[in-house]
Amino acid sequence: MNVISNHMPTAELQTLDAAHHMHPFTDGAALAKTGARIITAANGVMLTDSDGHQILDAMAGLWCVNIGYGRYELADVAARQMKELPYYNTFFQTSHVPVIALSAKLAELAPNDLNNVFYAGSGSEANDTNIRLVRHYWAIKGQPNKNIIISRKNAYHGSTLGGGSLGGMPKMQTQGVPVIPGIHHIDQPDWWSEGGDKAPEEFGLERARQLEAAIHELGADRVAAFIAEPVQGAGGVIVPPSTYWPEIQRICDEHGILLIADEVICGFGRTGHWFGTDYYGIRPHIMTIAKGLSSGYAPIGGSMVCDEVAETVAQGGDFNHGYTYSGHPVSCAVAMENLRIMEEEKIVENVAQETGPYLKAKWESLASHPLVGEAKIVGMMGSIALTPHKESRAKFAAVAGTVGFACRTRCFANGLVMRHVGDRLVISPPLVITKAEIDTLIERAIKSLDETLEQIKADGLYKVG
Ligand code: PXG
């Protein structure tokens, strides 16, 4: 077989890719026609594709390359760990130094008494763990029927059977999930799309109180936990009104419901704090972590668990759960090095005090563009809602996502990766993005918005639905 390398022509790579590679979250037939964009290298915030184009990655891969590309320190640590101890498991009363070190470090960084880590290979797996963990916890406490988990519509908690069942995205719900019984969904706090005439604060309270209504309906003795992302990421960077999280916290406290904060995107500096939980001042019993934990350099996820839940589970005999790669030594070592760099280079502080506010001012100014309704941002996760009529927060007549996709295509052509979620465009750049790179991001975004507006006018798509 020929060596397949970066030096092959793009078309040949695309043909091979289409012939043998099934892509996640992709229309395979459509992709086979156009051919995949092939990324060959990356450094800092810039990607290089197989045709030599330089593209500013305002998505940090998939919301994960927090320290940016090209940090050889992580490669060196991985190589060293592979030579010393490439693998050993953490089942059956064994442990190893990288997992011990990372667990202690995470306990130090995490808020409150989230001092205990159960490892997984990804965010989806970690949420599967959470389902089993909270049900097992209540069973040990003599309440096996306290097993319902409340989640939200338009939430994303992963793509495994468990994660997909917890999630609330309509497009996923028709394809083999939900399959886990005992998961109940309430509405999301998306004021732009669903707030109607209410003030955002009033709407935030109303949506939080749906949790209380659901608990009353189902019975507090039946509800094990509530799971939510501090800021919904894949759902379109939906920043909840300020009233939302304090009310959710009150409700969980008053009714004895475990709170699971899914920090897979919000964690590790994305909000300008170590965790989204810190940003909102909430006190979860469990946090789901992944992505930024290793800046995506190695696969790793996990559940950070408070002392009381961890101690109860420890007293409950064997917890018959785990993955071959729970606490993988190479991933743990890479994550440790990532956290060392984040601390040493004060990356989170820099987002909070310097680059975050700089990006916020520029991002929010996009709201004055004729195509943009709201522009929202927390730390380094932002979104804009495209609309044909700002005042009424109208949707387009075209199928949802048509205009968003057109804009995302213009972004690519202009050397910028933004992701579209329906007719919202979202960003989540590497946290190390500089002010000059933020200027480039915004210039390219404006150019892409201008071109999209022209295009949809020409195509007759600039119409209220
Ligand atoms: N929870 C949250 C909040 C996530 O955002 C997961 C769990 C699952 O993590 P894993 O590591 O199993 O993928 C995620 C992942 C997108 C996109 O297009 C978002 C995610 C994954 C893939 C695509 O926005 N989030």
Counting ligand 1 atoms within 8 A of each CB, the residue from 156, 160, 169, 229 with the most, and so the one to mutate, is 156
Is the pLDDT at 66 greater than 60? The verdict is yes
Q: What is residue 56's predicted lDDT score, i.e. its pLDDT?
A: 98
* Per-residue confidence band for 392, with pLDDT thresholds at 50, 70 and 90: very high
- Please report the domains of the chain, with CATH numbers, ordered by start residue: 44-67+346-458 (3.90.1150.10), 73-344 (3.40.640.10)
Amino acid type, 242: S
Q: Is the peptide bond before 178 cis (omega within 30 degrees of 0)?
A: yes
Ligand 1 atom 1: residue of nearest CA:
157
* Closest-CA residue to 237 (of 67, 58, 421): 421
% of the chain surpassing 90 pLDDT: 96
C-alpha 201 – ligand 1 centre gap (Å)? 28
Average pLDDT over the chain, rounded to an integer: 97
> What's the average model confidence in pLDDT over 277-293?
98
pLDDT, tens digit (0-9, with 9 covering 90-100), for 134-177: 999 999 999 999 999 999 999 999 999 999 999 999 888 888 88
Closest ligand 1 atom to Cα of 426: 24
Output the ligand 1 site: residues, CB below 6 A. 62, 122-124, 127, 156-158, 163, 229, 233-234, 262, 264-265, 288, 290, 301, 419
DSSP string, 233-302: STTT-BPPPTTHHHHHHHHHHHHT-EEEEE-TTTTTTTTSSSSHHHHHT---SEEEE-GGGTTTSS--EE
Question: d(Cα 290, Cα 145) in Å, to the nearest integer?
Answer: 30
Question: d(Cα 66, Cα 142) in Å, to the nearest integer?
Answer: 42
Is the pLDDT at 1 greater than 80? The verdict is no
Question: d(Cα 218, Cα 314) in Å, to the nearest integer?
Answer: 29
> What's the average model confidence in pLDDT over 205-228?
98
pLDDT, tens digit (0-9, with 9 covering 90-100), for 81-134: 999 999 999 999 999 999 999 999 999 999 999 999 999 999 999 999 999 999
Counting ligand 1 atoms within 8 A of each CB, the residue from 25, 62, 127 with the most, and so the one to mutate, is 62
Ligand 1 atom 19: residue of nearest CA:
234
Rounded to whole angstroms, what are the CA distances from 405 to 310, 381, 386, 408, 431?
44, 19, 11, 5, 25
Q: What phi and psi values does residue 155 have, to the nearest 5 degrees?
A: -85, 155
Is the pLDDT at 196 greater than 60? The verdict is yes
- What token pair was written down for 249? 């916290």
% of the chain surpassing 70 pLDDT: 100
Give the count of beta carbons closer than 10 Å to the beta carbon of residue 199. 12
Ligand 1 atom 18: residue of nearest CA:
234
* Closest-CA residue to 88 (of 298, 310, 303, 331): 331
Q: What is residue 2's predicted lDDT score, i.e. its pLDDT?
A: 60
C-alpha 62 – ligand 1 centre gap (Å)? 8
Residue with tokens 């991933």, as numbered in its chain = 331
Coil, helix or strand for 12?
helix
C-alpha 97 – ligand 1 centre gap (Å)? 28
